[in-house]
Amino acid sequence: MQAMLAQTKYLWFNTSKRQEFIRITDEVASFVDTSKIVEGLVLISAMHITAGVYVNDNENGLIADIQEWLEKLAPANINYKHHQTGEDNGDAHLKRMLINHQVTVPITNGKLDLGPWEQIFYAEFDGQRKKRLILKAIGIGR
Protein backbone atom coordinates (compact mmCIF):
# COMPACT_ATOMS: atom_id res chain seq x y z
CA MET A 1 0.00 0.00 0.00
CA GLN A 2 1.32 3.45 -0.93
CA ALA A 3 1.28 6.13 1.73
CA MET A 4 0.23 9.75 1.34
CA LEU A 5 3.07 12.09 2.17
CA ALA A 6 3.38 15.82 2.77
CA GLN A 7 6.67 17.71 2.87
CA THR A 8 7.40 21.39 3.54
CA LYS A 9 10.41 23.57 2.90
CA TYR A 10 10.99 27.33 3.04
CA LEU A 11 13.21 29.28 0.68
CA TRP A 12 14.52 32.65 1.89
CA PHE A 13 15.35 35.65 -0.27
CA ASN A 14 17.02 38.99 0.39
CA THR A 15 17.30 40.64 -3.00
CA SER A 16 19.84 43.33 -3.79
CA LYS A 17 17.31 45.31 -5.84
CA ARG A 18 13.74 46.42 -5.18
CA GLN A 19 12.47 44.33 -8.11
CA GLU A 20 14.01 41.03 -9.20
CA PHE A 21 12.92 37.87 -10.97
CA ILE A 22 14.73 34.79 -9.66
CA ARG A 23 14.58 31.38 -11.37
CA ILE A 24 13.92 28.76 -8.67
CA THR A 25 13.20 25.68 -10.80
CA ASP A 26 16.30 23.80 -9.62
CA GLU A 27 15.55 24.45 -5.94
CA VAL A 28 11.96 23.22 -6.37
CA ALA A 29 13.11 20.15 -8.34
CA SER A 30 15.65 19.31 -5.63
CA PHE A 31 12.95 19.60 -2.98
CA VAL A 32 10.66 17.28 -4.96
CA ASP A 33 13.52 14.77 -5.38
CA THR A 34 14.10 14.60 -1.62
CA SER A 35 10.37 14.55 -0.75
CA LYS A 36 10.00 10.89 -1.81
CA ILE A 37 6.68 11.81 -3.50
CA VAL A 38 6.21 10.03 -6.83
CA GLU A 39 2.72 11.22 -7.83
CA GLY A 40 1.27 14.45 -6.51
CA LEU A 41 1.56 18.22 -6.51
CA VAL A 42 3.97 20.84 -5.29
CA LEU A 43 2.64 24.23 -4.23
CA ILE A 44 5.05 27.15 -4.52
CA SER A 45 3.74 30.21 -2.66
CA ALA A 46 5.25 33.60 -1.85
CA MET A 47 4.55 34.43 1.77
CA HIS A 48 4.73 38.21 1.39
CA ILE A 49 2.15 40.56 -0.12
CA THR A 50 4.68 42.26 -2.40
CA ALA A 51 6.14 39.11 -4.03
CA GLY A 52 4.77 36.50 -6.39
CA VAL A 53 5.48 33.26 -8.21
CA TYR A 54 4.97 32.42 -11.88
CA VAL A 55 5.81 29.82 -14.53
CA ASN A 56 7.14 30.90 -17.92
CA ASP A 57 10.15 30.75 -20.24
CA ASN A 58 13.62 31.68 -18.91
CA GLU A 59 14.40 34.05 -21.75
CA ASN A 60 15.90 37.48 -21.01
CA GLY A 61 13.78 39.32 -23.59
CA LEU A 62 10.58 37.85 -22.18
CA ILE A 63 11.61 38.68 -18.61
CA ALA A 64 12.26 42.29 -19.68
CA ASP A 65 8.87 42.33 -21.45
CA ILE A 66 7.15 41.08 -18.28
CA GLN A 67 8.85 43.80 -16.23
CA GLU A 68 7.83 46.51 -18.73
CA TRP A 69 4.24 45.20 -18.89
CA LEU A 70 3.94 45.21 -15.11
CA GLU A 71 5.40 48.72 -14.92
CA LYS A 72 2.83 49.99 -17.44
CA LEU A 73 -0.05 48.44 -15.49
CA ALA A 74 1.21 49.36 -12.00
CA PRO A 75 3.82 52.11 -12.31
CA ALA A 76 6.12 52.97 -9.44
CA ASN A 77 6.34 56.50 -8.09
CA ILE A 78 2.72 57.55 -8.47
CA ASN A 79 0.59 58.66 -5.55
CA TYR A 80 -1.32 55.50 -4.61
CA LYS A 81 -3.87 55.82 -1.80
CA HIS A 82 -1.89 53.09 -0.03
CA HIS A 83 0.97 55.58 0.35
CA GLN A 84 -1.20 57.69 2.66
CA THR A 85 -0.58 54.98 5.30
CA GLY A 86 3.13 55.80 5.31
CA GLU A 87 4.07 53.03 2.87
CA ASP A 88 5.65 53.62 -0.55
CA ASN A 89 5.06 50.23 -2.19
CA GLY A 90 1.54 50.46 -3.67
CA ASP A 91 2.85 49.38 -7.06
CA ALA A 92 4.44 46.25 -5.53
CA HIS A 93 1.08 45.11 -4.13
CA LEU A 94 -0.60 45.57 -7.52
CA LYS A 95 2.20 43.82 -9.43
CA ARG A 96 1.89 40.86 -7.07
CA MET A 97 -1.81 40.60 -7.92
CA LEU A 98 -0.99 40.56 -11.64
CA ILE A 99 1.68 37.85 -11.30
CA ASN A 100 -0.19 35.99 -8.53
CA HIS A 101 1.16 34.67 -5.27
CA GLN A 102 1.43 30.95 -6.00
CA VAL A 103 1.56 28.18 -8.56
CA THR A 104 0.94 24.44 -8.36
CA VAL A 105 3.07 22.07 -10.43
CA PRO A 106 2.42 18.35 -10.93
CA ILE A 107 4.83 15.69 -9.73
CA THR A 108 5.00 12.64 -12.02
CA ASN A 109 7.33 9.68 -11.48
CA GLY A 110 9.05 11.60 -8.68
CA LYS A 111 9.96 14.63 -10.84
CA LEU A 112 8.51 18.07 -11.59
CA ASP A 113 6.27 17.69 -14.63
CA LEU A 114 6.89 20.96 -16.48
CA GLY A 115 6.52 21.66 -20.18
CA PRO A 116 9.65 21.87 -22.37
CA TRP A 117 10.33 25.58 -21.77
CA GLU A 118 8.56 26.08 -18.44
CA GLN A 119 10.58 27.42 -15.53
CA ILE A 120 9.49 28.56 -12.05
CA PHE A 121 10.27 32.10 -10.91
CA TYR A 122 10.11 34.05 -7.68
CA ALA A 123 9.10 37.64 -8.49
CA GLU A 124 10.14 40.28 -5.97
CA PHE A 125 8.56 43.74 -6.19
CA ASP A 126 9.61 45.35 -2.88
CA GLY A 127 12.90 43.70 -2.03
CA GLN A 128 16.10 44.45 -0.20
CA ARG A 129 14.83 42.72 2.94
CA LYS A 130 14.42 39.10 4.06
CA LYS A 131 11.36 37.30 2.68
CA ARG A 132 10.31 33.68 2.37
CA LEU A 133 8.50 31.32 0.06
CA ILE A 134 6.90 28.00 1.01
CA LEU A 135 7.21 24.75 -0.93
CA LYS A 136 4.55 22.19 0.00
CA ALA A 137 4.57 18.80 -1.74
CA ILE A 138 1.65 16.43 -1.27
CA GLY A 139 1.12 13.05 -2.88
CA ILE A 140 1.76 9.35 -2.95
CA GLY A 141 5.18 8.34 -1.65
CA ARG A 142 7.65 5.62 -2.55
- Whichever domain contains 28, its CATH number is 2.60.120.460
pLDDT recorded at residue 142: 80
| Model pTM score | 0.95
**What is d(CA 5, CA 8) in angstroms, rounded to the nearest whole number?**
10
Better-predicted residue by pLDDT, 2 or 44: 44
Left if phi > 0, otherwise alpha if psi is -120 to 50, otherwise beta: which for 60? alpha
35, 137 Cβ separation under 8 angstroms: yes
Between CA 53 and CA 134 the distance in angstroms is: 11
Calculate the CA dihedral of residues 64, 66, 68, 70 and round it to 10 degrees: -150
At 24-41, the pLDDT tens digits run 999 999 999 999 999 999
Is the pLDDT reported for residue 129 higher than 90? yes
Closest CA to 140 of 57, 36, 17, 34: 36
pLDDT reported for residue 1: 65
Contact present, 49 and 125 (Cβ < 8 Å): no
Mean pLDDT of the chain: 96
What tens digit of pLDDT does each residue of 75-127 get? 998 999 899 999 999 999 999 999 999 999 999 999 999 999 999 999 999 99
The Cα-based distances of 43 to 2, 7, 28, 78 in angstroms read 21, 10, 10, 34
What percent of the chain has pLDDT above 90?
A: 94
Structural domains of the chain, count: 1
Question: 83 to each of 76, 78, 79, 91, 129, how far by Cα in Å?
Answer: 11, 9, 7, 10, 19
pLDDT in tens, 63-74: 999 999 999 999
pLDDT of residue 2: 82
Task: Look up the domain containing 64 and give its range.
Answer: 4-141
Residue ranges in the chain assigned as alpha helix (H):
25-35, 60-73, 90-99
